[in-house]
Amino acid sequence: MSSVRLQVNLDALAENFHQLRRRGGQNKPINMSAAVVKANGYGLGMSFVARRLYQEGCRRFFVATVAEGVQLRSQVPDAHIYVLAGATSQTLGDLTTYQLIPVLNTRQQCELWSPTRQAAALHIDTGMHRLGISWDDDLTQLPALQLELLMTHYARADEWSDTLRVQQTQRFENCFAALREQHPDILASLNNSAAVLTDQVTKDARFHSEREGCVDRLGLGLYGVNPHTQTDTPAAKQLLANVATFEAGVMQVRRVKAGATVGYGSTHCVSGSGRLVTIGAGYADGVPRLLSNRGHVFFQGYRLPIVGRISMDSLVVELSDEMAMTCEIDEGDWVEIFGPHLSVEEVASQAQTIAYEIFTGLGSRVQRLSYSQQSE
C-alpha cells in the first residue's frame, strides 16, 4: 500500500467549473467553457477529472500532445479535443483517426493539415512570442482550412493590473475580423482562468469575455488554485474550492534529546527534547527539496515544521515535548502536505516556484484517489 496519496474532490472540481463558467458570462452556453486537462489533468488524474467535467456538461477539452488526446478520447467520446502542439507528419494519423483538433501554430502545420479537410484551430501569437502565427502576418494567404476556433495566449493574465492584455486583445480582434470573412462561424478563445477571474479590467481587454462565440480555457482555477500573482484579487479567494489534498503516512516516531541532528548533512539540530516524526514522502513523490528546514505539514490543527533535508522517500518533522502533550501522532497516521489547511500556493511560494509545478511534479507512485458525494 502506498504511503503517499492525493485525494481529489470531484464535487469541488465541478463547483469550480460552474463558478468559472458563470464568471465568463451569466448567459454563456455551457459548451463555451473548455477544460484544460493536459499533463495528466495538471497532475491530479486526467481520466476521472475529464469524466466528471463531462458529466457536468463540459464538451471542450485542451491537451498538450496527441498522446494525451488519444488517451482522453475514450473518456469523452463526442467532445471537442484540442491538441495544443498542433500537427506533425508523425501525429497526422492519430489526429485524424481519433478526430482530434490540432491547434495549428505555424504555416507549415497549416499546409500539412489542409488536405485532411478536418476541423482545426489556429493559434495567433499576439505578443507572448512562444507559439503561434504572428498577429502581423497576412492570414489571408494561409492554405484552405476548416477553422472552428481562433485562439491566443495572454502573456501576463495573472497580473490583472498589466496593460499588455489590452494590446494583445486589440491585435487578436484585428486577426479575428480578418478571418471571420472566410470563416463566419469561427469561435474565439482568449481567456484562461486568470483572465476570467480578473476583477479590474478595461472594457477593451474583456472584449471577448461575454460575447457569443467566445470559449474560455479553464485550467488552474478548475483545480482550486488562485492563478493570480497578485494574490489580493478577491474573486479567486471567494469562488474557488479546494480540490486536491496531498497526504503522506507516518513511518516512525522517535524521542530525541537536545543536540540531536537530523538528516543528510545534519542541517538541523534539535534545541530541546522532543519527538522527530518521519513521514513517507520525499522529493521522488513531488515534495520540493527546497522545503527543507522551511516548510510544514499539517496534523490535527498543528503546523509541524519540516526539519533537516528532505530525502528521496521521506521527510522529518519535529514536535517539542510541550506540543506532543496535545498532538498525538503515531505510526500510520496521515499528515497533509498541501490541501485545505496548507494551500498549494503557500507551498509553492516556500519552494520558490508556482502551483503548476507543484501539481505536475507529483510522482508516479503517488496514489491518486477521487471521491464525490455522487458515488456515496
In this prediction the pTM is 0.93
Which residues does the annotation mark as catalytic?
38, 264
Q: Report the percent of the chain where pLDDT is more than 90.
A: 82
For 164, counting Cβ atoms within 10 Å of its Cβ (0-12 exposed, 13-18 middle, 19+ buried), the class is: middle
Residue 26, pLDDT score: 65
**CB proximity list for 83: less than 8 A, separation 6 or greater:** 63, 64, 65, 66, 68, 69, 91, 95, 100, 101, 102, 103
Report residue 153 as a C-alpha cell: 495566449
Q: Is there a contact between 376 and 11 (Cβ–Cβ < 8 Å)?
A: no
**Structural domains in the chain?**
10-225 (3.20.20.10), 244-375 (2.40.37.10)
Query: What is the tens place of the pLDDT at every residue in 149-158?
Result: 999 999 988 8
Between the alpha carbon of residue 121 and those of residues 62, 168, 188, 372, the distances in Å are 11, 18, 10, 34
Report residue 32 as a C-alpha cell: 463555451
Question: What's the one-letter identity of residue 143?
Answer: P
> For the stretch 308-340, what's the b/e string if a residue is b when 16 or more beta carbons lie within 10 angstroms of its beta carbon?
bbbbebbbbbbbeeeebeebebeeebbbbbbbe
Question: What's the one-letter identity of residue 263?
Answer: G
Q: Is the pLDDT of residue 67 over 60?
A: yes
Count of alpha carbons within 13 angstroms of residue 159, beta-carbon side? 9
Residue 169, pLDDT score: 93
Is the Cα dihedral 105, 106, 110, 112 positive or negative? negative
Q: Cα–Cα distance between 195 and 227 in angstroms, integer?
A: 9
Query: What is the tens place of the pLDDT at every residue in 253-295?
Result: 999 999 999 999 999 999 999 999 999 999 999 999 999 999 9
Instruction: Of 111-125, 152-166, 276-290, give the lowest mean pLDDT range.
Output: 152-166
Q: Cα–Cα distance between 303 and 280 in angstroms, integer?
A: 17
| Nearest C-alpha neighbor of 158 from the set 195, 203, 122 | 195
Average pLDDT, stretch 84-100?
Answer: 98
Q: Is there a contact between 25 and 213 (Cβ–Cβ < 8 Å)?
A: no
Q: Cα–Cα distance between 366 and 376 in angstroms, integer?
A: 23
Q: Cα–Cα distance between 17 and 35 in angstroms, integer?
A: 8
